[in-house]
Amino acid sequence: MILNQFKLEGRVALVTGSGRGLGQATAVALAEAGADVALLDLSAPSETAAQIEALGRRCLTIACDLGQASPADLSGVVDQVVTGLGRIDILINNAGIIRRQAAVEFSQANWDDVLAINLDAVFWLSQAAGRIMLAQGSGKIVNICSMLSFQGGVIVPSYAATKHAVAGVTKALANEWAGRGVNVNAIAPGYMATDNTAPLRADSGRSESISERIPAGRWGTPADVAGPMVFLCSAAADYVHGAILTVDGGWLNR
């Protein structure tokens, strides 16, 4: 039965930035598909954990500041998952921040802070999880890209730089690991109603102009990412490598 290919029973996933928004929706969706889930955020995401445990799945919470974590720290995070839940089969690099400032005034902090979380942590967590996945001959890594993996955006140079880079890292790791049983892919959400886009949605003129360009006629929600995420983490996507799946209501088509 084809639906069995989408089930995640016996799998263990690590989801970063899982306290709210896309990360929370992803973590719950993976649990609904049968996975046990480790949740990483700045503080223990108790609300997400409660939803997962209500589904009868095991849950491990890890408090970690990805902006300050070293490669050794992030390797330790993966070790915590393996120790606490027995293995790691799925890594979702969801955590990210955005800083808005004109390029000619952009501060070093606004550059460094965004790169640390959006790019450095993505690579080092992928490396640490990848070592285990390669040894076991299987694993799924899904990174979060953006419309700004394809476009330049306005007053967000560090964010655009990281999202272009994450697309490149996704393809680079896929090239190295596809033949060894590890799938590395990405999802590029369109304009989603999350905390990161709150300033845009608060600007009635900008919000309206964005909505008018989206063929689907609305902003996305975290739930819109859940199905594509389960697909990329499942056996149904075993022959999908280095893909950047846009979940954007058709934004890039315009």
Neighbours of 207 (CB within 10 A): 17
The tens digit of pLDDT for each residue in 71-107 reads: 999 999 999 999 999 999 999 999 999 999 999 999 9
Read off the pTM.
0.96
Cα of 1 vs its chain's centroid, Å: 29
pLDDT tops 90 at residue 41: yes
With H, G, I as helix, E, B as strand and everything else as coil, classify residue 8.
coil
Given 124, 159, 177, 219, which residue is catalytic? 159
| pLDDT value, residue 226 | 96
pLDDT tops 80 at residue 128: yes
Going by C-alpha positions, the residue among 23, 144, 25, 140 that lies closest to residue 91 is 140
The tens digit of pLDDT for each residue in 148-192 reads: 999 999 999 999 999 999 999 999 999 999 999 999 999 999 988
Structure tokens, 112: 């460094």
Q: What is the 3-state secondary structure (H, E, C) of 38-72?
A: EEEECCCCHHHHHHHHHCCCCEEEEECCCCCCCHH
The Cα 29–Cα 230 span in angstroms is 7
Q: Is 191 a catalytic residue?
A: no
* 10-249 CATH fold: Rossmann fold (3.40.50)
With H, G, I as helix, E, B as strand and everything else as coil, classify residue 10.
coil
